[in-house]
Structure 1
Amino acid sequence: MDSDNRRRRVTTTRHLHDLAGSPSEDVSPLIAQSWRRSRQAGVIPDGSHLPQLQYVEDLDLRRRLVQCALPILDRLHDDLSDMSLSVALSDEHARVLVRRDNDPVLAAKLDKVYFAPGFTYAEELVGTNGVGTALETGMAVYVDGAQHYHESIQYFTCAGAPIHNPTTGRVEGLIDITGLTHTSNPLMRQLALGAARDIESALRATGSIKQQLVLGEFLVACRRRQTSVYSLSCGVFMSNEIGSRLLEPIDEAFLREEAQSMLDPSRVAQFDLRLPSGGSITVKRTLVEHGGDIAGIVLEVEATSCPTKTVQPRRTVPVFPGWRGLRSNGTGVEGS
């Protein structure tokens, strides 16, 4: 069966699926479930109207994920130089961060559907696709032509593989390989999966260095004075024995969340913080850097009975300025 006939058959299957909501032998359960989620999210598959995509102007291209992924993206791009394929990196929110092209015709077609840096290809916005569906399922996927829910991207075939943080297990981002349907090959999924594993290995290596640096500063703070000490590095939050007794569980969880927003050089080094339980603490923050990047922070914390100046909690993780456009072991240490 040629690609046009197959596309028409799968598109007809999707229309029937939308009407009846029943699975079909023409598509896998993974694709059928993604179609169902796309329909429930309100995605309209009509190809005459592009989805309303979210766009972020300033991308965080200094984050560790990007720095670890760039050499692997470049190598994969070179390996695929004789094929009409594009390689892209997205973050954990399905925002495209970087795209590498080796075919100007394919690149122009991808730009036309806004599969480009800054745009979000979440499944709930675009429907079934290699980026959003892989992030939604946490699995490597292969979405071929008409298996895409939205008709505007059914001329592409894409393979996506999630990239997991080797320390926390959380999804850090995704690697995607895209080509036109008539040049597709199921091996694209294995290529994406292999690249994702290589990026995870790079994250593990750099994470170990950063965590060792932060641990060193953590132990220095523990020896310097008898106080509660906490640290955050590569998603790992840690306290000394005194710190494990200082805070209630709800307050420690709160401090861990707030520590994410303290990874910002512009914040003051010492401040008071009001806790959910009603108490207050004085926090002395030390930033630990590695190669111009922030490796983590160490917090020295004391209970405060009458705070004078309280820093209001910040719920968002800071974003560094990025590129724009469509192109481009001590005793008494506890982990929690």
Structure 2
Amino acid sequence: MPRHQPGTSLRAARELYQEVTNDPSARPLVVASWQRSIEYQVKSGSLDAPYLDNPNLDSPLARAALPIVETLHKQLADDPVSTMITDRSGVVLSRKVSHQGLTTHLNRVRLAPGHVFSERYVGTNGIGTALASGRPVLIAGRQHYVEELREFRCAAVPILHPTRRTLLGAFNLTTIHQGSDGMLMAFARSVAAQIEAEIAVITSRRERALFQAYMEACSSARPGPVLALNRDVVMMNEQLSAAVTGPDQYALLDHAREIAAHHRLEGTRSIPLPSGRVAELRVSPCQREDSDAGAVFRVRLIGRAQPTPAVSATPARSELGLVGSSPHWLRAVADSETAFVAGTWLHLLGEAGVGKRTLVEALHRAHGAGRRLEMREAPLSDAPAATEHWLDEISELLVVPSHVLLLSDAHLLGDQLRRRLTTLLTRLRGSATAQLVITSQPSMVGADDEFDQLCGASVEVPALRHRYGDTELLARFFLRKYRPSGEGRISPDALTTLQRCPWPENVRQLESVIRGLARRPTGRTINADDLPPECRVSSNKVLTTIEALERDAILRGLMERNSNVQRTAQDLGISRATMYRKMRRYGIVPSSLT
């Protein structure tokens, strides 16, 4: 293949591509890879392989492959060959090489753990092209798109899940010596087959363990509805599948997956369902020696399904002035109100932006009875003087009967300060006359933490994605709030888009979006094309680690630059055309952006 000189422009790269296409020795797979490299605007004259800290070595791929690669490394001692394992994003998870000369060459091009060698970043190469094509490839010498890689010969083979046949990663052999390409590729295929076989064994053991736990739950004296799941498998008995259908089943599975991912939440959880029923889940994590196999849930359904009320133009509001009608939200409000009225110390858990502080303020307005609401957060400094002053202030506030003390974001407290605060609250719990309300995020809370047991009541405020139907109510409420004249409305397609958004910052993010839209000229309907980029990311598309990082960088850039595509593209170092292509890829609808 012709030599691509360093610093070659994109136009010259396209001319070179034409030469590659016309080369009778060029394989279609390599030609297609070069075409993708040009579309990605990879710089052939310089290598840019991003680096990620702490690549995931706890995946089924890594657990299966690393022992095999370690054994292989011992067999290849002193041979000028490097063995590598990458994930499906092209992140190098492991590299083994015992030849010092080859190690120097690999380090020079950053072909090392943590670096990303997908085609999107380094063009045609063994790892990236095997992952992009889903086929075993050998990329040698000038077939590499980037100049710095052309001294290497790389044989890479994709590694697939043994049953689903989805892409998990790749096995790669790299050398700088000339030799039999056929032997190199045969060797790579053999090792990849061993890794897939080991993954099948691990997956089988993992799923057998879950299946055994599931069968034990189903065959107990009073089995009732049973659910078992992990990342790959969902099992439910006939009692559960018949009792929970439609939106209730989707909600139940959604919550169960989140619970299974946090095994410290072992115990019993109550999940309000869209129909108005409550599913009480008794959680039993299923663990094997080397990994978590999933979780088994014994389900008890409480109450009867209620008819779904039609959504009106006027949002539903509780007596506390709060918006929302989903069962999960109403249950959280009712439980919080009961504890607050009784004077019980209350612990509110919930993701950032779900409305914990708004709920406390509403409770105080309705039931404060002249008491003063004092809000405190963690001290800004860990200096002894600052923490002492903060603890003294908390102590003083708690002994004033006319106070309600809100301690916000307790999960941000340092370990030492957390222990000292626990000691203080334990000592004051019997004598304190003020009411204490603590807020924190559930992902930060440990079930065995003494601090979390101080309150007499604990309530979880649901994330917006679990408040089925409330997105529309809240969107309309915020539009009326920021357009008090009542001009304008939200179109059905815009509401559909808003309901599909995952809302990582919850109600706070939704309010920010509607506030921005409300500032535009009044009197016109808000359509889907008017929504900012953050609302137009498909929540159903499964992204690789690198894709998620790239998508988030684009979204942040657009949000910081008032949705200006041209400025964002320039700051990210890509063309406007590439920017639009990436926005379409990630579901960021560009039609209304300038």
Letter in 1 for 2:79: M
Q: 2:148 aligns with which of 143, 149, 152?
A: 152
Cα distance, 1:131–1:284 mapped onto 2, change above 3 Å: farther
Larger displacement relative to structure 2 (169-178 or 184-193): 184-193
The residue aligned with 1:297 is 295
The residue aligned with 1:28 is 27
Q: 1:238 aligns with which of 195, 215, 235?
A: 235
1:140-167 residue CA offsets vs partner (Å, 9 max, x unmatched): 1111111111112111111111111113
Letter in 2 for 1:163: I
Q: Is the 8 A contact 2:226 2:237 kept in 1?
A: yes
Letter in 2 for 1:162: P
1:284-333 residue CA offsets vs partner (Å, 9 max, x unmatched): 3322111141122223345566444355469999x9xxxxxxxxxxxxxx
Q: Is the 8 A contact 1:271 1:310 kept in 2?
A: no
Q: 1:121 aligns with which of 117, 124, 132?
A: 117
Letter in 2 for 1:231: A
The residue aligned with 1:41 is 40
Cα distance, 1:84–1:286 mapped onto 2, change above 3 Å: same
1:196-275 map, 5 Å: 196-224=192-220, 225-233=222-230, 235-245=232-242, 246-248=244-246, 251-252=249-250, 255=253, 259=257, 262-267=260-265, 269-272=267-270
CA distance in 2, matches of 1:181, 1:214: 47
**Deviation (angstroms), 1:10:** 12
CA distance in 1, matches of 2:165, 2:133: 14
User: What is the TM-score when the length of structure 1 is the normalising length?
Assistant: 0.79
Q: 2:283 aligns with which of 270, 285, 298?
A: 285
**Deviation (angstroms), 1:132:** 1.3
**Deviation (angstroms), 1:122:** 1.1
Q: Is the 8 A contact 2:2 2:20 kept in 1?
A: no
1:26-105 map, 5 Å: 26-46=25-45, 49-51=46-48, 53-105=49-101
CA distance in 2, matches of 1:276, 1:93: 37
The residue aligned with 2:567 is none
CA distance in 1, matches of 2:18, 2:68: 43
CA distance in 2, matches of 1:154, 1:134: 17
Letter in 1 for 2:228: S
1:108-153 residue CA offsets vs partner (Å, 9 max, x unmatched): 2212211111111111111111111111111111111111111121
Which consecutive residues of structure 2, in runs of 5 or more, have no partner in the other structure? Answer: 304-326, 332-459, 466-503, 505-538, 546-594
CA distance in 2, matches of 1:164, 1:65: 9
CA distance in 2, matches of 1:136, 1:285: 40
CA distance in 2, matches of 1:45, 1:250: 53
SS in 2 for 1:75: helix
The residue aligned with 1:135 is 131
CA distance in 1, matches of 2:82, 2:272: 49
SS in 1 for 2:263: coil
CA distance in 2, matches of 1:81, 1:63: 27
CA distance in 2, matches of 1:294, 1:109: 39
The residue aligned with 2:443 is none
Which structure shows the bigger proportion of residues in helix conformation? 2
Larger displacement relative to structure 2 (6-15 or 224-233): 6-15
**Deviation (angstroms), 1:196:** 0.9
CA distance in 2, matches of 1:34, 1:75: 32
4+ residue segments displaced more than 6 Å:
9-14, 274-280, 313-317
Cα distance, 1:199–1:271 mapped onto 2, change above 3 Å: same
Larger displacement relative to structure 2 (10-19 or 220-229): 10-19
CA distance in 2, matches of 1:274, 1:27: 60
CA distance in 2, matches of 1:61, 1:158: 23
**Deviation (angstroms), 1:262:** 2.8
What is the count of residue pairs matched by the alignment? 310
Letter in 1 for 2:229: L
**Deviation (angstroms), 1:67:** 2.1
Larger displacement relative to structure 2 (258-267 or 13-22): 13-22
Q: Is the 8 A contact 2:270 2:278 kept in 1?
A: yes
Cα distance, 1:84–1:278 mapped onto 2, change above 3 Å: farther
**Deviation (angstroms), 1:79:** 3.1
User: What is the TM-score when the length of structure 2 is the normalising length?
Assistant: 0.47
The residue aligned with 1:168 is 164
Letter in 2 for 1:288: C
Larger displacement relative to structure 2 (257-266 or 293-302): 257-266
The residue aligned with 2:375 is none
Letter in 1 for 2:193: R
Which consecutive residues of structure 1, in runs of 5 or more, have no partner in the other structure? Answer: 1-5, 320-336
**Deviation (angstroms), 1:78:** 2.9
Cα distance, 1:221–1:145 mapped onto 2, change above 3 Å: same
**Deviation (angstroms), 1:274:** 6.7
The residue aligned with 2:571 is none
Cα distance, 1:270–1:134 mapped onto 2, change above 3 Å: farther
**Deviation (angstroms), 1:21:** 8.5
CA distance in 2, matches of 1:265, 1:114: 37
Letter in 1 for 2:218: C
Q: Is the 8 A contact 1:18 1:36 kept in 2?
A: yes
SS in 1 for 2:110: coil
Letter in 2 for 1:36: Q
The residue aligned with 1:189 is 185
Q: Is the 8 A contact 2:4 2:16 kept in 1?
A: no
Cα distance, 1:132–1:223 mapped onto 2, change above 3 Å: same
Work out which of the two has the higher radius of gyration on C-alpha atoms and give 1 or 2: 2
